[in-house]
């Protein structure tokens, strides 16, 4: 083993998505040819959604004190690494995490790769599925995305009401 390199180098999500997209692109092209555009998109959507839920569960296992809005926020550096996102945080507390994305290099990358028609499925659609696997008591609302041509993404994570009520009762 080379002492100059650590055993594990954590790459950012942007680099991970690029590697995945390079593998998915030729498979997607064949699926479009063999099954048609709609079926190919449907297969990609299902496969990526399932992978995102599984990834969320794997990250959750690493949380010694359980998952929360705060533990999720602590992971955000992975999505932002390599200047992948330019964000503006609006709210960040125990019950919510709200931010807007003003620049998304994920969208730029998929466009450069010729994958803009499935960029949403490869990245954006993962967000709600990841949080579902990571912290089922946290929900995501995001009506706008750069990937779909909006000028920004508006991420709104919320601790679900029942969970928030239970936590408030324990604090009293």
Contact 132, 140 (CB under 8 A): no
Given this model, what pLDDT does residue 5 score? 45
Lowest mean pLDDT among 60-69, 76-85, 121-130, 159-168: 159-168
Could you tell me which of 96, 91, 92, 88 has the C-alpha nearest to residue 151? 88
Reply yes or no on whether the pLDDT at 3 is more than 50: no
pLDDT at 86 over 80: yes
Pick the CATH number of 13-169 from 3.10.450, 3.30.1380, 3.30.200, 2.40.50: 3.30.1380
Q: Is the model more confident about 163 or about 64?
A: 64
Angle made by CA atoms 4, 6, 7, in degrees to the nearest 5: 130
Token pair, residue 44, equals 């990609």
């Amino acid at each position: 083993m080379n002492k100059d390199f650590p055993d594990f180098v954590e790459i950012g999500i942007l680099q991970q998505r690029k590697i995945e997209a390079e593998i998915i692109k030729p498979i997607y092209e064949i699926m479009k040819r063999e099954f048609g555009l709609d079926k190919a998109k449907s297969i990609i959507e299902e496969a990526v959604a399932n992978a995102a839920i599984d990834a969320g569960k794997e990250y959750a296992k690493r949380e010694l004190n359980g998952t929360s809005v705060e533990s999720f926020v602590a992971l955000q550096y992975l999505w932002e690494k390599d200047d992948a996102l330019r964000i503006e945080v609006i709210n960040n507390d125990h019950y919510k995490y709200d931010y807007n994305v003003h620049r998304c290099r994920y969208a730029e990358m998929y466009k450069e790769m010729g994958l803009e028609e499935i960029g949403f499925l490869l990245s954006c659609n993962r967000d709600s599925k990841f949080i579902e696997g990571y912290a089922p008591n946290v929900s995501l609302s995001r009506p706008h995305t750069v990937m779909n041509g909006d000028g920004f993404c508006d991420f709104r994570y919320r601790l679900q009401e029942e969970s928030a009520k239970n936590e408030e009762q324990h604090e009293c």
